[in-house]
Amino acid sequence: MDYFAVIDTETNWNNEVMSIGAVIAEKDTFKKVDDLYFIFDPEYKIGGMFSMVLPVKGGEHKDILFTRKIAMEKFKEAFELMKNGAKIKLPSWGGYWYWDDEKKTVIMHTKDGKEMDIRETERVEYTTLNILSEDWVVADKENCPQLGGTATFGFDEAIKYLKRGMKLARKGWNGKEQYIELATNVSFKTPNDEVINVDHADMGNRAIAFHGTSGVQLGWLASQSDMLSEDWTFVE
C-alpha cells in the first residue's frame, strides 16, 4: 500500500497561522490513515474561515495545543545542545541533526548516511513539524543506528509507523524474528467456500498481523507491557 501526505495550515481573521497539521492517506482510496495537528493558542481562539475544521471539540483540544512561545522553546533546548557539540534526534530516527559551526547552520544526517543543510530540505513542512516536536533526545551509539545503536520508541509512535506500512517489533520479545505489520485487503473463506471480504466500520478491511515462531496470527492484541514499553523498533 502506498501513501501520501498533505500539509494543512490554517490562518485566523488576523492572517496569523493558528494551526499546522499533517495528514497521511492511502494513495488509491484517499482514506485517512493518521493525522497530527499543532494548534496555536491564543491565535485559534480568534477564529477564521476554516475554524470548524480544527480538531478542537467543546473548547478542548484533540491533538497538541500550545502557544507559539512554548512551541519554539521545545526546540530551543535541543538547539542549544547542538550549538555545544551534541548530535540530536527524535526517538524513531536512524539519523541525527548537528550544528556546523563553519557553515553556521544545522546539518541533517539522514538514516542513509547522507548529509543536507537544513535550508536545502525539499520537505519543508515535514522538517517544520519535526522542529515543533517535544521529544528531542541526544543521539549516541546506543539509540542512533547511524552511530551504531538502535532507534527505539513508544507504542504511540509504533502505531503511527504501523499504519504507514512499516514492520515493527519489541526488543523485549523473546522469540526470534517476531514482528507485527498491518495487513490489508483482509478476507476469509467460510465452510461453504464463500469468500468474505472483511469490512468494519472503524477498521475497514485491515488488521494487525503478528509474525511469530508458530506462523502468522491475524488480529494481534497488544498487552499492557507492549503498550507501556519504550523499546519498539523497526524491522528491516
Task: Report domain extents, the chain.
Answer: 3-66, 68-147, 155-234
* 208 strand-pairing partners: 182
Grid cell, residue 99, equals 550544528
- The whole-angstrom separation of Cα 164 and Cα 110 is 19
What is the C-alpha separation between 33 and 86, in angstroms, rounded?
Answer: 35
Whether the model pTM is above 0.75:
no
d(CA 197, CA 189): 9
Name residue 9's amino acid.
T
Note down pLDDT in tens along the chain; length 236 residues: 577 777 777 888 888 878 877 777 887 888 877 777 777 777 888 888 877 767 665 444 445 555 556 666 767 888 999 999 999 999 989 999 999 999 999 999 999 999 999 988 887 777 877 887 778 999 999 999 999 999 999 998 899 889 888 899 999 898 778 999 999 988 888 999 999 888 888 888 899 999 998 899 998 999 999 999 999 998 87
* pLDDT on residue 124: 74
Query: 107 phi and psi, to 5 degrees?
Result: -105, 130
